Chains A and B, each alone.
Chain A
């Protein structure tokens, strides 16, 4: 289940419930200026939701800027939920990747989340990322090329998923190791090269070429 982190106090319980209904695992971040909830088990959530009403220190704008600047949280889709009437004041309107105004329904939240994820990661509303005839279904862990299933191991899948959902950006081996594998892994940084080679072999020549080796830096996914 994907994590969703909630910033801000106002209506956070109700929002947690809505997110849980949508299949997320909600975690509330304490209002003491930290960026990470105490009880999360992943390094980056699928989603961050900022409840802007009543946020003072840090402000909504500051918070969004810090999330964007954080090395691990930089590409987390951010939704900003404004309090009723806030639109007129214009505060927070330009922050985050997608906007909501309280009160909102589960359906509206779902649609906004889908828009934010699509904007950031290219993930369609049905949880499928499509690149040419390559389809990655993030809900079922299945990958298909030209509708034919391709069988990956879990780590190969996770690596491909990370690259595909962060297109056009170069990641070093260390960054991939820490963000895909998550912890120290005794395979060492060469593990990344080995997995890239395996993923390329399974993708076949057309899609394999989308994983670019950036000499003495790392790897980049060319999504278009």
Chain B
């Protein structure tokens, strides 16, 4: 089943199209932004006027597919972007001239999904899982920094407050900002579970309520732009950079993963002494077994590894625990009777990841664990990860593991993997040529 066909499984296309066309007319929407996702998860967009909307819904819009390939694009590919009317949403910001958005499925001219479209890849994995009767539910805690101003050309940014974990800082711009952001998110259909001030000054966390994986990836994408918009309106700047301040913890994006068959959470075990059911243990074993290969997508920037290097709740070893703070995976203790709450929390991803690729690979790794009956390693107690393998130390090691990963290639296809790897190799080559603050502070006087 391709992405285009699966649209027909939900109340037919006609209803969606009529809804979109009518809403545009009734609400006086002026422009439609067509959103698509590049291989690094960066949101790309182009606008069409309302007069072009009907044609766009019917036939799609021509697009150069290489725009999905990040910095490694070599030549142009003719592609067609098909707006997905299920994702039509009037944007809550810019109230003066109404703008709506739709995510696009990017296809080749023959109608097959374009191999560089990470959203299509996630959808393909979800359909495979659905074929086995499974749907993955994902909750998400996103951390980020809100700065007053960005320092010129690489200088340290200006923090807005000296707040700390769960501090209520009534006089800061931060609480105003969180309120505005949450209002935007709710108006755009991203329910927020909670928000609070994080450990570092100027750092915030917003928890997104669980939903299916595709909606969560779309939500994270939308979330990042909503947060940046809200910050911009207050004269501040929000960043999802994993580690902006050397002295403080970086920003993570913890994922809460559970797996359902119909209404039944298959991670739940009736025995309260068991953290997860046998299916859940095998799924988690799959994720842990492939954690090294996954790291290039969960932590896809050179800067991501500066967060992982410093502890501060950022994992360094492939381990799981019920209580500790340092393991890669935490299995939260359950409240009695809360069957639907059985889940595990993956703590390595950072908010600058491509959520489509991360969720596609986490699900694929977990399903492989179930399929092949992987055994879950022993729990790490008191953050002792004795004998546990370590996560890749840097982007180079992670990229090598990803490049050689049969799981990644089978799940995402060679084309997407190759393009991803080419982007990362280029980033590494750029860094290798860069003289940094570190070089100067350490060597300038000494040598």
Contacts and interface: CB of A to CB of B under 8 A. Distances in A.
Interface of A: 41, 140-142, 149-158, 173-174, 181-191, 194, 197-198, 200-202
Contact of B10 (A155, A174, A188, A197): A155
Instruction: Give 7 nearest A-B pairs by CB, closest first.
Output: A188-B135, A186-B130, A151-B90, A201-B186, A154-B19, A189-B263, A194-B211
A217 B320 CA distance: 35
Interface string B81-107: 000011111101000000000000000
B11 interface: yes
Contacts of B10: 155, 181-183, 185
Contacts of A202: 186-187, 189
B187 A151 contact: yes
B87 A153 contact: yes
Given A153-B89, A182-B11, A202-B187, A187 B212 contact: yes
Contacts of A194: 209-212, 215
B127 A186 contact: yes
Contacts of A151: 23, 27, 89-90, 92, 187
B191 interface: yes
Contacts of B142: none
Nearest to A173: B263
Contacts of A140: 22, 26
Contacts of B187: 150-151, 202
Is the interface on chain B under 10, 10 to 19, 20 to 34, or 35 or more residues? 35 or more
B11 A149 contact: no
A158 B19 CA distance: 10
B88 A153 contact: yes
Contacts of B212: 186-188, 190-191, 194
Given A141-B23, A152-B189, A190-B137, 14 more contacts: A140-B22, A153-B89, A154-B11, A154-B16, A154-B19, A154-B88, A173-B263, A186-B9, A188-B135, A188-B262, A190-B340, A191-B212, A198-B189, A198-B190
B135 A186 contact: yes
Contacts of A153: 86-89, 189
Interface string B42-68: 000000000000000000000000000
